[in-house]
Structure 1
């Protein structure tokens, strides 16, 4: 079979199995990306979640020695939630980013790619392949850009002409020498809405992200959250969509193509107080099927506690005191003390003072002092 005919058959089959966009790229070294990654490393902009060395992330032949091409796929997800529940003063809610609204996309894209892989190997017996979805060494964004899926925007996302940046990406390296597709022209122009709107100035310049300041990254960390970012996170439980929401290319974009990506309102916008009381089993039963659960219970719970402090939710004081007094994890106890200080009721302040007499952990004690400092600053202002 001719390579061009095979390519067309793959394109047609991809539509049948629920792939919204497919593109083909060469497996040449990503030289420009390699320099960018080195610069990123020098500046300390990496998240620490990256897999592999810079060479492995930019040289496809290190991952599949006989690599000739890379097939890139994109699947669209919704940007709006139907019948979204609203928080009340008694029941404040958090929010997961749109990319974590439905079933974990890693599983869905891997399953689509495996179907595509089986189709190719049925056509070409000697085909070699390697599949990756987000957690692989290659940069999904760099592959998608080269394959013509979309252009790399200033918000560090791939922006497609059809679906904006609300797409999941995955790829397959193969030894079949497909004719590459042409890249999409960058059309950000002079627009800098995403750079100006980023709550933490994580977008340094066009397409350059300082992951250490990105809320999407910060919500996934497990340690105490640096003080400067707590007020910026607000009620975000996982991820951040600000740079996508303000993008003009995403205006009016909202695709509900795949049922598995439809949000479960009570999961995507969960009540915050119940998250403080959930056992490990309850947490997994509630959130275990979404991508936002990959780091486990602790970060999500910490972020929920920060959210309650953000709202200054007086109805949460009892739950926060229970966490402060009984939770074995210093990060959770300390964050609860900080949040109680933000809320600042007499009961909350008394609880912090009482807990300080028994607390041994230095970091928790520091958070307790910060919690009490909120009250002192308020008293000074009054």
Structure 2
């Protein structure tokens, strides 16, 4: 009975546009537990994860008598067609591939809800619990156990068909589905992802210091530590470096799901207009993207850092306006940094004028550092 149900579920998953589906036992993730403990002890966790490690590794704490976990994967595009070109006076930022198109959380939840309905029609008393990214379980650990792909050195799941360009989700159930066979890692001796990581966040194969990861740093809301600013480049949200250098991702590009196809002007927007965007405009333009979940302030801060990266002289006035008028210390302080990086007489004059009015210590610190930068250049 359950073998036939599994076959039917696999066939149905293909009908509704799920690119990969796998089945895993709902046993505790004992090996993962020790890794998570080590991450916390080393201070490598991002803080976005579920705090209770036991819930992350023990499915029995999430539903009664779990018997299996259904893992799904949806492939997303890796190339931006008709990408607009940035140029002097019109610099552009970039959202990572995982933020292209509609928020993947919404897409996967819809697919999982359809799978739930399918099972409930056949087993009305079935116990189910679905999750995507923000749930207690580790999406990657489940996908690895379910044979979706192997756990790579860049801490992603790599599938033979789509590389690591896949979104993951899972469903806990008390149905005793036969588990699939996990894949052996095929990373071999390759260390390209580790070698290319801009901030050395990949400590070793399979171990990430999230506190140094650019994908994490772009989502923080405070003043970005100076040691990381020049590594940000023009990234507004996320980082794809450890994926783009991976040999397993070479030539992997699909346009299977229409809702994931990126809008070029949305995912590679002009930087300067972002500095003055209203909450309403931000929600209308970026609200459906996963990269908008932390609100506009981190995106605006990162846009300022990107203008500093380009040393975009034409943006001095917009940055000075942020320095003088923006009520948020994080943006004023970051603007001071950018003005110091771009330099020039107007930059120095603006910093000195704003310095006499500023009250916030963290902003004053950034202003003094910016003035020191200008003096050292002179």
Could you state the TM-score of these two structures normalised by the residue count of structure 1?
0.98
> What SS does the corresponding residue of 1:74 show, helix, strand or coil?
strand
Q: Which residue of 1 aligns with 2:348?
A: 349
Q: Which residue of 2 aligns with 1:101?
A: 100
Q: Distance in 1 between matches of 2:348 and 2:166?
A: 45
Q: Which residue of 1 aligns with 2:367?
A: 368
CA deviation after TM superposition for structure 1 residue 227, in Å: 0.4
CA deviation after TM superposition for structure 1 residue 372, in Å: 1.1
Matched, 1:12 2:11: yes
Q: Distance in 2 between matches of 1:337 and 1:148?
A: 50
CA deviation after TM superposition for structure 1 residue 345, in Å: 1.7
CA deviation after TM superposition for structure 1 residue 65, in Å: 2.0
Mark the runs of 5 or more structure 2 residues left unpaired by the alignment.
none
Q: Which residue of 2 aligns with 1:313?
A: 312
Q: Distance in 1 between matches of 2:206 and 2:310?
A: 33
Matched, 1:116 2:115: yes
Q: Which residue of 1 aligns with 2:339?
A: 340
Q: Which residue of 2 aligns with 1:295?
A: 294
Q: Which residue of 2 aligns with 1:242?
A: 241
1:16-35 equivalences in 2 (<5 Å):
16-35=15-34
1:6-64 deviations in whole A, cap 9, x for unaligned?
00000000011110000000000000000000000000000000024000000011011
Q: Distance in 2 between matches of 1:313 and 1:186?
A: 44
Q: Which residue of 2 aligns with 1:261?
A: 260
**Aligned residues between the structures:** 378
CA deviation after TM superposition for structure 1 residue 276, in Å: 0.5
Q: Which residue of 2 aligns with 1:79?
A: 78
CA deviation after TM superposition for structure 1 residue 370, in Å: 1.4
Q: Distance in 1 between matches of 2:155 and 2:356?
A: 47
Mark the runs of 5 or more structure 1 residues left unpaired by the alignment.
none
CA deviation after TM superposition for structure 1 residue 344, in Å: 0.2
> What SS does the corresponding residue of 2:189 show, helix, strand or coil?
coil
Q: Which residue of 1 aligns with 2:170?
A: 171
CA deviation after TM superposition for structure 1 residue 112, in Å: 0.4
Q: Distance in 1 between matches of 2:220 and 2:3?
A: 45
Q: Which residue of 1 aligns with 2:55?
A: 56
CA deviation after TM superposition for structure 1 residue 230, in Å: 0.1
Q: Which residue of 2 aligns with 1:220?
A: 219
Could you state the TM-score of these two structures normalised by the residue count of structure 2?
0.99
> What SS does the corresponding residue of 1:183 show, helix, strand or coil?
coil
CA deviation after TM superposition for structure 1 residue 185, in Å: 1.2
> What SS does the corresponding residue of 1:33 show, helix, strand or coil?
helix
> What SS does the corresponding residue of 1:29 show, helix, strand or coil?
coil
Q: Distance in 2 between matches of 1:375 and 1:325?
A: 19
1:108-159 deviations in whole A, cap 9, x for unaligned?
0000000000001111112110010000010000000000000000000000
1:155-198 deviations in whole A, cap 9, x for unaligned?
00000010000000000000001000000110000000000000
Q: Distance in 2 between matches of 1:290 and 1:20?
A: 21
Q: Distance in 2 between matches of 1:67 and 1:269?
A: 43
> What SS does the corresponding residue of 1:24 show, helix, strand or coil?
strand
CA deviation after TM superposition for structure 1 residue 378, in Å: 1.2
Q: Distance in 2 between matches of 1:91 and 1:64?
A: 52
Q: Distance in 2 between matches of 1:38 and 1:7?
A: 35
CA deviation after TM superposition for structure 1 residue 66, in Å: 1.9
> What SS does the corresponding residue of 2:72 show, helix, strand or coil?
strand
CA deviation after TM superposition for structure 1 residue 69, in Å: 0.4
Q: CA RMSD in A?
A: 0.6
Matched, 1:186 2:176: no
Q: Distance in 2 between matches of 1:4 and 1:158?
A: 26
Q: Which runs of 4+ in 1 moved over 3 A?
A: none
